[in-house]
Amino acid sequence: DAGVIQSPRHEVTEMGQEVTLRCKPISGHDYLFWYRQTMMRGLELLIYFNNNVPIDDSGMPEDRFSAKMPNASFSTLKIQPSEPRDSAVYFCASGLNTGSGNTIYFGEGSWLTVV
Amino acid sequence: GDSVTQMEGPVTLSEEAFLTINCTYTATGYPSLFWYVQYPGEGLQLLLKATKADDKGSNKGFEATYRKETTSFHLEKGSVQVSDSAVYFCALNNQGGKLIFGQGTELSVKP
């Protein structure tokens, strides 16, 4: 399996611009997660989906952030407008029926810098 | 709510030293427990897991035992290598669909 695929790997954008991060989960997985990692705050869960439906978006920092999962093989995380404090590594992860014992697999991350 | 607490880093060891990274958790019920590793510039990779009390997870010379009586899942390795330098995350899954992570512990191994 190709694993979780994220794009872009690196993005540098100017403050105020729209940023779209993309994720292709592992085929057959029914959970998809978006995490953000910074030195100051560590690893934060932003939102997760089950069968393409958002289950918990309580970690989304504010209305500038939105996430969609139009089908089982694709998800986006959008920031509009972007701000320098959004600079972070954004990870997408997927899992299958994550009850006891099931495992979540991470992508390589999208490294975002907002200047 | 559920939570995971790890020992603070960074942990600095010499090559071939014994490693312990402490992890304790708070959770209702019977969560599954995980250790993930993050090498510089990469995403998190599953290192090992345990799904019930007294289970021992092991991989690449690392091991951790699920101790329900002490609510712990400490990571150990008998002889670390320079290539083990990374950040290690303890996590739990309590049937809620998501992983709850500790804050991560950075390990630096010197030759």
According to DSSP, residue B82 is labeled G
Beta strands, E only, chain B: 3-6, 11-14, 19-21, 23-26, 32-38, 44-50, 56-59, 62-65, 75-77, 86-93, 99-101, 105-110
- Phi, psi at B23, each rounded to 5°: -145, 125
DSSP strand pairing (A10-13 vs A110-114): parallel
Q: Which two tokens stand for residue A65?
A: 């952030």
State whether A91 and B42 contact (CB < 8 Å): no
What residue in B sits closest to A95 (Cα-Cα)? Answer: B97
pLDDT at A98 (0 to 100) = 56
pLDDT band at A103 (very low <50, low <70, confident <90, very high): confident
pLDDT digits (tens, 9 = 90+) for B13-64: 999 999 999 999 999 888 899 999 999 888 999 999 998 899 999 999 999 9
On the question of pLDDT at B9 being above 90, the answer is: no
pLDDT digits (tens, 9 = 90+) for A12-69: 999 999 999 999 999 999 999 999 999 888 899 999 999 999 999 999 988 999 999 9
What residue in A sits closest to B39 (Cα-Cα)? Answer: A108
Give residue for tokens 């972007």. A82
State whether A101 and B99 contact (CB < 8 Å): no
State whether A100 and B46 contact (CB < 8 Å): no
Quote the minimal CA–CA distance from A107 to chain B in Å: 6
Angstrom distance (rounded) from CA A114 to CA A7: 16
pLDDT at A41 (0 to 100) = 87
Partner B contacted by A25 (CB < 8 A): no
pLDDT at A99 (0 to 100) = 58
